[in-house]
Structure formats: structure tokens, C-alpha cells
Amino acid sequence: MSELPILPTTVIGSYPRPKWLKEAIRLNKAGKISTEDLNEAFNDAVITVLNDHKKAGIDVPTDGEVRRDEMVEFFAERIKGFRFYGPVRVWGTAYYRKPSVVGKLEYNMPMLVDEFNFANHQ
């Protein structure tokens, strides 16, 4: 990474998923497109986000978290010691699976290496 300015700019939070990505997710869940096709759609969405960040002059771009359904669920699914008890209303009519800690937290594998490497090589 090149040298950053004194106050580098970045983006926090998730990018809105485009309609075509939401449709690809729906089709994959319905068994109408392959996981490979879904991953290609996710990759296209990440490239779109990175291009937006580049056009906006963002110093430290992100992948927009477009591969994640929810900010906590992604990590809790990959860390031993969490348990999901069903959907919880978060705001409005939005329900998400929220975990509870039920044991010692342990992880055995890197969680973001593939996402980082993909975004870093665009």
C-alpha cells in the first residue's frame, strides 16, 4: 500500500446490495444458479464497490461487506462457542440471526483472507 495521508479516508459499514446481486442470492437459494455463479456475482459486486471508492478518492477502500448477510452473524458462524437461537428484530421489520456466547470462544481458521486477497488484487 502506498503511503497514506495524515487523515486517510475510508468507509465503514456495508454497501447496499444491488438488485442483481440480491436476485443472484435468491436464485442460488432456490437452486437455480450454482455457487460458482453466485461467487462470480459477489466478485462483480466487490469490483463495483472498489470502483466507486476509487472514483470517490477513498484512501483505504473496502469490499463493502457485500458477501455478508449481517455484520455479527458472519463471524459468529466461524467462531466456536456461539449459538444462534433464531431471528431477532433489529429495527423496523428487519430480523437477523443473533448469537449468544455459550462456551469458550475459539477459531481455527482465518476468516477474511480470501476476501482481502480478492479486493487487494483488483
pLDDT per position as a tens digit, 65-112: 999 988 888 899 999 999 998 888 888 888 888 899 999 999 988 889
Q: Mean of the per-residue pLDDT values for the chain? A: 93
Alpha carbons 120 and 100: distance in angstroms, whole number: 33
CA distances from 11 to 28, 66, 77, 113 (A): 29, 13, 24, 19
Are 37 and 53 in a shared domain?
A: yes
- Number of structural domains found in the chain: 2
Are 11 and 63 in a shared domain?
A: yes
Alpha carbons 24 and 42: distance in angstroms, whole number: 9
Are 1 and 11 in a shared domain?
A: yes
pLDDT at 109: 83
Out of 67, 82, 101, a domain closes at 67
pLDDT at 21: 98
Are 12 and 39 in a shared domain?
A: yes
Whether the predicted model's global pTM rises above the 0.85 cut:
no
pLDDT at 1: 52
Mean pLDDT across 38-67: 97
Are 76 and 113 in a shared domain?
A: yes
Partners of 101 in beta bridges: 82
Alpha carbons 20 and 8: distance in angstroms, whole number: 32
